Amino acid sequence: MSARQHIGEVTGRIVHLRAGTDNVEFQGRQLETQSVIFEDASGKIRLQLWESQVGVVLFGKTYKFSNLSTREFQGELFVTTTRQSTIEEVGPLSGMGAIVPCDVREDPVISLCAEIIRAEVIVSRTCGNCKCSQTDFDSRKKFHRCMKCNMLQKSGMYTASAIANVTVLGDSGELNVCINNSVLHRFLRNGDITHLLQDAQDMEEHLLECGFLKLHIQNNNVVAMVKAPEQTASEACSSKSSVSATGDLELLCAADEVESVCAGGAADEVNSRCK
């Protein structure tokens, strides 16, 4: 198998999930990506997930991936999702034994209770038709014309994504961290307040008024966050723990199980940077 080959379909079991995600800037737009490792009878390989597929797969589960592509970067051959990729959870593969831990080194995940004292939220929107990132988008207007495909659409039809740069204050003092789009989406969805994605300042004000939050942080990136119960907030903030990054996000947050998700955005365009 060589770089830039199309893979129509492959089924494998997730044996490692990187706890944190990364942001890649492409044409003025921040794309979120996550690395996982899956295995089948032939061995293990890294899979790069993009945007809407981040957080979809769970450790130990088996999935059927379609329309993937191979890439090579710094001598490593890996596979990546594309705009046409789909993911479907399936039953376990026959003949697969117990999961053998992957020798993947990651920094520890720090767990602490803190409150957000400063926040900057950046909201971007993408056209559902041509996947182009929009500029000069006014969420208060009913309609918006895409700057690329020129189609006039309802403002709510554009996909909103957000990144928050915040300062949290706990017993150990202040810490500057980043909250990526997938973590923000889970946090807002769990509170049934996803409408806050429509306005950056509304989201900033909500984060500042949340009170104490239970945060899991790796490399100054929040990988999971939940609101700390009021009766235990003071107790939780009196301790700070560190756990090794097993790559199993089920240990950190409750991710939704999604049967099939289509990749959005410009994943295949960004992947073209890798030869």
pLDDT band at 274 (very low <50, low <70, confident <90, very high): very low
The pLDDT > 90 percentage for the chain reads 48
Mean pLDDT to the nearest integer, 42-66: 91
The pLDDT > 70 percentage for the chain reads 82
pLDDT at 62 over 50: yes
Reduced to 3 states (helix: H, G, I; strand: E, B; else coil), residue 271 is: helix
Residue-level pLDDT at 269: 46
DSSP string over 27-69:
TTEEEEEEEEEEEETTEEEEEEEEGGGTTTS-TT-EEEEEEEE
Tell me how far apart the alpha carbons of residues 201 and 162 are, in angstroms, rounded to a whole number.
Answer: 12
Q: Among 88-97, 198-207, 215-224, 245-254, which stretch is predicted with the lowest mean pLDDT? A: 245-254
Please state which of the four CATH numbers 1.10.3210, 2.60.40, 2.40.50, 1.25.40 is assigned to the domain occupying 109-123+160-243: 2.40.50
Mean pLDDT to the nearest integer, 45-65: 91
Same fold, 6-106+258-271 and 109-123+160-243: yes
Reduced to 3 states (helix: H, G, I; strand: E, B; else coil), residue 212 is: strand
The domain spans of the chain are 6-106+258-271, 109-123+160-243
Residue-level pLDDT at 27: 67
pLDDT at 252 over 50: no
The CATH class that applies to domain 6-106+258-271 reads: mainly beta
- This model's pTM is above 0.85: no
